[in-house]
Structure 1
């Protein structure tokens, strides 16, 4: 059955060294249709390990989907120099140092992929976009295009011209990188009516730039904008005028404009601003429902968004107050949020009104959760958060502990209950002084839940015993990152050199990353088990 099956999707992300090497040996390239390779940490270069075992992609003759994340140019050239990508339909690549000009050989290889006749989906993270200009007489058949780190508005016209079959475009830029040179002189010579969906992420709401982009795609029926918001003059009336003039066929408009520093406004000004989004155009004609909210303690901090939420990342700030809107009473079940951060502090007012607002949200796609505990934090906020978040799909969890008090038993029970439900949890990061304020029994409760699930761990430690207790209790760990104030990097590296086989350690003055090899059971594990180290020794 295994030998006859020929549609394997192989993902080398977050594997232990043993499984990584084993998979390299067992893999039959001709049975693989999807391959994902990544350098997850700088200095580790997992793709080099793949190359040392597989060498290149020449034998992967049936590949349909190829994902290369954080790859350097030498690795890219070695992998694809002899590759046969006749059947490729989806290609994704993010390159290290995306701002640099790529070498000619890399550009040639990329162009050969982009012009493959079967390619339909393309995701690129690099600012040098000449590879998307396929040249006169040559076109790309791509339907879906994602570009990260783009920084020249003038490039878009030639890219769209080279991709006449484009339907969906996602443009993600780094703030402050956009090149405004020549923007005012730029006049699109024609429109690209084939593009029906456009997403702008991390997009500063400069009205002039936005109008130029929209002028190239007048047939959009779906527009998404996610980014910072600093201009209250761009209110509901101006948005209405912009959309009616530039996008007459638009059916779906969604946005999430998060706050950056603006001049402090009065509550009356914010209420007037809010009413511009509660007109018949928004509510009756388009049925686009908008929420305007502000931080209660600071009227200079606002955010504006449509529901359901279109952003993939959300800081769940319980101190925000929502202004009156039909949307505030709606129950939203289909939010797109996948990564959520919740700040917990007992100084936050958890009034009945706030609880009712929070109860209207359901986050069913969460894979990454961050809980931030501040001084004198209150456990009463955790149940409120639990009600809104479905954690059954959660893979990553971060605990940021900034409190100088011991963890209460009530809160620990809630956290443990949460961890028990998170059956897919694989990665845990703990920041702050967590180990200084947790008791031995409390930590034992957490580790007993995560014993067989946890694969990746990042935590601050003070000495080696704190590191060893996690290695003893969690038997599926493959990747670890330790932070410390006192420089103990030499001791950590020496311990793994003496007690494991094949572990790779890489680090700087205040942190060490370990790609765990095989524990030396003849020496280390009996010693650990006999001593049965106590968590009490942490403090």
Structure 2
């Protein structure tokens, strides 16, 4: 006799359903499962392991989730005021007090306004926090009052991870508290003195990352102390001289991982393989992995022999056999730019140049031709469609099916000439368009050059099924190029959620709103030769009875739109 089982999620006990929810993203839980039936609503409300990330969410979905969530069930919370969700943090703080979230172990703020951060810090963060991330809005420096409050807050918490990013040296004014539990730290814009202070105040620190690291002044009066627990150091966008690098590396002799991305003051000194070999042998004897990407800050004119000479210093047994660290050096003649980097590439941002545009030598020629390994970490790719690329497009039409950059999700293209459909085919050999999420186009609207470009851009976006973000920054090398802006607006596909565009007047904004009500966010940039009265734009949105939040600067207006709650008369 055959037994028939009625299999249904509704028959499962709550404990099993909660275990299933551990593997389901928050949006699916609140926006899909919650509305299935009253039983699922009860299951969702009783679940207490939520990790909520409000980055890039639509305003409509944000409101829906906020109506459902219970603060005591949230373990991780990320709020963002970036271009996709401007005004989100202030809106969230109007709905909740941050001290209601008593079980948080992770709290992240992206592009936060300093006043909003001050409000948060005054609310007393929960003692359960082990991870805190604060990225100030680019045009906002932290105030002394906020930094004082932050210092007090950090002293009260037992953090394991901390990230503080601000686009100025204001953070150096903060009194750094003693933190015995901190193991991972990320900072921006610090001085040599503060670097030494931080290492002294965080005795258990294991991983340290500095962004925009310069340290032009090395304080000789500081007595050097060695910090032997720090095993990982990353310096990105570093402007340091070789003396600056030595001054901080010599303090951390137990590093096993070192990564440096930068534009050093004196390129040739930092790019000297012989120096690094001697320094590592003497001071970093535990180093297992060394990654770097150096490019010149100032004018350099190289010949093929110069590039070969630079690479030759990395052909010793130390580099090739003992460490097996391989490098490539590219010299771009028309830019007078030299790039020296370890392979595989360790820089997530890369500018693609055709082989005909550069002089290139490597210590491992086999590795540089393996695209799946060489460029695996590149996420953001920049390229210019020049006549030189035109000359190589035909040659590369027979490229293998393997992409040159397989993991790129953001592509920036300068369109400086008539762009034919052949470019789309050439581009599809370079990147996997199915993975593309973000396009930035900088097209020349000169009618004499743009013939075919708009159709090609439209075709490219149609081939990119996962594309959600589009930035268009048109310019014109002729006086009548602005006539073609309307044509650009018309090719914006309806699967675009986030749009950034350069405009000249409010009529341009009206045209976008009339034809693209599906947008989740809109960033408007004023043309480089003028600022715009954004008050008029905001009034236009109010007159249209749009639900929105925003923030503005002198040359930009960032709007978070509720794409489904437009109220008509």
Tell me the TM-score normalized by structure 1.
0.82
Counterpart for residue 498 of structure 1:
543
Tell whether the 8 Å contact from 2:136 to 2:142 is kept in structure 1 after alignment.
no
Say if 2:217 is the partner of 1:180: yes
Counterpart for residue 200 of structure 1:
235
Counterpart for residue 531 of structure 1:
none
The structure-2 alpha-carbon separation of the partners of 1:512 and 1:130, relative to structure 1 and needing over 3 Å to count, comes to: closer
Counterpart for residue 141 of structure 1:
181
- Shift, 1:508, TM fit: 6.5
Q: 1:472-487 maps to which residues of 2 (within 5 A)?
A: 472-483=514-525
1:316 to 344, 349, 352: 352
The structure-2 alpha-carbon separation of the partners of 1:67 and 1:148, relative to structure 1 and needing over 3 Å to count, comes to: same
SS at match of 1:333: helix
SS at match of 1:471: helix
Tell whether the 8 Å contact from 1:98 to 1:149 is kept in structure 2 after alignment.
no
- Shift, 1:255, TM fit: 0.5
The structure-2 alpha-carbon separation of the partners of 1:271 and 1:199, relative to structure 1 and needing over 3 Å to count, comes to: same
Moved more, 222-231 or 262-271: 262-271
Query: 2:368, 2:433 → 1: CA distance?
Result: 24
- Shift, 1:204, TM fit: 2.6
Query: 1:294, 1:6 → 2: CA distance?
Result: 55
1:40 to 74, 79, 82: 82
The structure-2 alpha-carbon separation of the partners of 1:47 and 1:289, relative to structure 1 and needing over 3 Å to count, comes to: same
Counterpart for residue 144 of structure 2:
103
Tell whether the 8 Å contact from 2:263 to 2:294 is kept in structure 1 after alignment.
yes
Q: Deviations over 1:142-187 (max 9, x none)?
A: 211111122x112222212222222111111255xx35052x3334
- Shift, 1:47, TM fit: 2.1
SS at match of 2:372: coil
The structure-2 alpha-carbon separation of the partners of 1:73 and 1:269, relative to structure 1 and needing over 3 Å to count, comes to: closer
- Shift, 1:373, TM fit: 0.5
1:65 to 106, 112, 119: 106
Say if 2:121 is the partner of 1:75: no
The structure-2 alpha-carbon separation of the partners of 1:349 and 1:367, relative to structure 1 and needing over 3 Å to count, comes to: closer
The structure-2 alpha-carbon separation of the partners of 1:186 and 1:507, relative to structure 1 and needing over 3 Å to count, comes to: closer
1:301 to 328, 334, 337: 337
Tell whether the 8 Å contact from 1:114 to 1:140 is kept in structure 2 after alignment.
no
The structure-2 alpha-carbon separation of the partners of 1:382 and 1:289, relative to structure 1 and needing over 3 Å to count, comes to: farther
Counterpart for residue 515 of structure 1:
560
Tell whether the 8 Å contact from 2:267 to 2:296 is kept in structure 1 after alignment.
no
Query: 2:511, 2:139 → 1: CA distance?
Result: 39
Tell whether the 8 Å contact from 1:147 to 1:172 is kept in structure 2 after alignment.
yes
SS at match of 2:351: strand
Say if 2:132 is the partner of 1:91: yes
Tell whether the 8 Å contact from 1:455 to 1:477 is kept in structure 2 after alignment.
yes
Counterpart for residue 164 of structure 1:
203
Moved more, 457-466 or 481-490: 481-490
Tell me the TM-score normalized by structure 2.
0.78
- Shift, 1:256, TM fit: 0.7
Query: 1:379, 1:305 → 2: CA distance?
Result: 33
SS at match of 2:281: helix
Counterpart for residue 375 of structure 1:
417
- Shift, 1:400, TM fit: 0.7
Q: Deviations over 1:106-137 (max 9, x none)?
A: 434444335533x22111124425757324xx
Query: 1:120, 1:252 → 2: CA distance?
Result: 24
Report the aligned-residue RMSD: 3.5
- Shift, 1:293, TM fit: 0.8
Give structure 2 stretches of 5+ with no counterpart.
1-42, 476-480
- Shift, 1:377, TM fit: 4.5
Tell whether the 8 Å contact from 1:312 to 1:338 is kept in structure 2 after alignment.
yes
The structure-2 alpha-carbon separation of the partners of 1:129 and 1:42, relative to structure 1 and needing over 3 Å to count, comes to: farther
- Shift, 1:470, TM fit: 3.8
Counterpart for residue 123 of structure 1:
163
SS at match of 2:277: helix
The structure-2 alpha-carbon separation of the partners of 1:398 and 1:302, relative to structure 1 and needing over 3 Å to count, comes to: same
Moved more, 93-102 or 20-29: 93-102
The structure-2 alpha-carbon separation of the partners of 1:477 and 1:339, relative to structure 1 and needing over 3 Å to count, comes to: same
Counterpart for residue 277 of structure 1:
314
The structure-2 alpha-carbon separation of the partners of 1:315 and 1:104, relative to structure 1 and needing over 3 Å to count, comes to: same
Counterpart for residue 305 of structure 2:
268
Counterpart for residue 344 of structure 1:
385
Query: 2:141, 2:514 → 1: CA distance?
Result: 44
Query: 2:556, 2:150 → 1: CA distance?
Result: 37
Moved more, 422-431 or 208-217: 422-431
- Shift, 1:199, TM fit: 0.6
Count matched residues: 506
Tell whether the 8 Å contact from 1:391 to 1:421 is kept in structure 2 after alignment.
yes
Query: 1:303, 1:289 → 2: CA distance?
Result: 14
Tell whether the 8 Å contact from 1:295 to 1:320 is kept in structure 2 after alignment.
yes
Tell whether the 8 Å contact from 1:98 to 1:125 is kept in structure 2 after alignment.
no
